[in-house]
Amino acid sequence: MQQPKAPPSPAAALTGPVTAAMHPAPPGFDPATPLAEVLPAMAGPHVSAVLALDARGAPVGILTERDVARRVAFRLPPEAPLSAAMTAPVTTCPADAGLWRAVALLRPGRLRHLPVVGADGRCVGMLHRDDTLAAASGRLLTHLDALAGEDAAIKAAQAGVATALLDEGVPAQEVVGLVSGINLDLHRRVLDRSLTAHGEPPVPFTLLVMGSVGRGESLLRPDQDNGLILADYPDDRHAEVDAWFRAFAEAFNAGLDAAGFPLCPGGIMARNPLWRKTLPQWRHQFEYWAGRRAGAALLFSDIAFDFRAAAGDPAPAEALRAHLGRVLAASPALLAAMAAQNASLTVGLTLWGGFTDDEPGPGTRTDLKLHGLMPLVAATRLLALRDGIAPTGTAARIAALAARGSVHAREAADLAEAFALLLDVLLRQQLADHAAGRAPGNLVDTAAMEKPRRSALRDALKAVRSFSRGAFGSFTGSVW
């Protein structure tokens, strides 16, 4: 007998798109439509609200059953326009937002209905309060309320949300997915605000995120790794186009910094012209790195090749991903050079099986990002790029490599388990740092762990060491 499908965990539901929880779009009317024509539409099944739409079809007001009871019944004549009874302006939620964002909007605003709008501003569906809030427990809702605030407050509230989910038994990997989703949404919010301040761009563009945000694996304090793909334009427009995007990108990166995403020490940000190009220029850049294969070219490749579109038309990013595949197929030496550089990434185990001391001064803590997560991420990235695997997330890459037979199923299972444990250990350490008033870091006191967990961590690092050495060696020919 087929087992019933388990409901998604709170983190999985909240990380998912609002479109998964929304109902069909309600009826829409011109604001001048008489109520006598509007109200019959609310008598239909499952219709508890209607929208007032402008000439473009975008919502400008909402009329709910409660509005009818409070403002219409025995108060307004049938010929009164919809605009006389509706609530305006109407709060909406973008269709590409995570469900957590809808929860954060519904709760503080005491809203019962939340229209979902597409990129063109038109309503594509409706979220109802009870259905949407069912995705979160009462304790978690308290933390989610803080996610309706300003950017910096949202960033700070991530720790409370993550702690509440971990306390409820949600796996750290799912919690990290939610944290990454919040981080991505913050990028879009800052981008929208920068666009409002600077006006219509001279040419369309796509926002790229890279590094841990691009992989969907960012923890509490990732720095910025972003860029822009600009639509192609004639050379004689360069001064105009570049001047606009230079000011816009400066404001965007400064806004992210204020929201809690530190400026990238390596300058991998849209305000740097190297990371702000047309698609042909990006293609040429990848080709140059493939030919250069040294120094900054390798460092940039490690970060940039985890790119994905975060806002704007995703087609240019998809075209760039396809071109990267062609570049790597024609220049396999680039992957070999990346592997040779990544071979310096070691795991946090001594020759005798103890944990390494990576802490300056008298401490003995181990950096499990540098000496655990990074070797696994780097090795998985190289194999995925070699095999033309499109997903950028490490867990998805491991699964895809196993499906292709590039990694044995047993090893893939061990690596997936190691990845999940490393995320759990690092996330809990960062939450402890946050609670103690310290900046979230990556140094973990392995000696304070209970023996079974310390043993599991040692086994995880051994699996990462074996896999990463084999992966790097398969490109360089080195024997470990």
- pLDDT range class, residue 1, cuts 50, 70, 90: very low
Lowest mean pLDDT among 178-182, 186-190, 312-316, 383-387: 178-182
d(CA 97, CA 18): 6
Is domain 10-148 in CATH 3.10.580.10, yes or no?
yes
pLDDT one-digit tens code per residue, 77-130: 888 999 998 989 999 988 887 787 788 788 766 788 999 999 888 999 999 887
Phi-psi region of 123 (alpha: psi -120 to 50; beta: other; left: phi over 0): beta
- pLDDT range class, residue 136, cuts 50, 70, 90: low
Query: What DSSP assignment string belongs to 305-328?
Result: TT-EEEES-SHHHHHHHHHHHHHH
Is domain 153-330 in CATH 3.30.460.10, yes or no?
yes
Q: End-to-end alpha-carbon separation of the chain, Å? A: 49
pLDDT of the residue at 101: 79
238-254 exposure pattern, b = at least 16 Cβ within 10 A, e = fewer: eeebeebbeebbebbbe
Q: Would you list the domain boundaries of the chain?
A: 10-148, 153-330, 340-476
To which residue do tokens 């946090």 refer? 348
Highest mean pLDDT among 35-39, 105-109, 124-128, 463-467: 463-467
Is domain 340-476 in CATH 1.20.120, yes or no?
yes
The mean pLDDT value for 44-48 works out to: 80
pLDDT one-digit tens code per residue, 61-71: 999 988 888 77
pLDDT of the residue at 181: 83
Eight-class DSSP state of 272: S
pLDDT of the residue at 2: 44
pLDDT one-digit tens code per residue, 282-310: 999 999 999 999 888 999 999 999 999 99
Label the pairing between strands 49-53 and 28-29. Answer: parallel
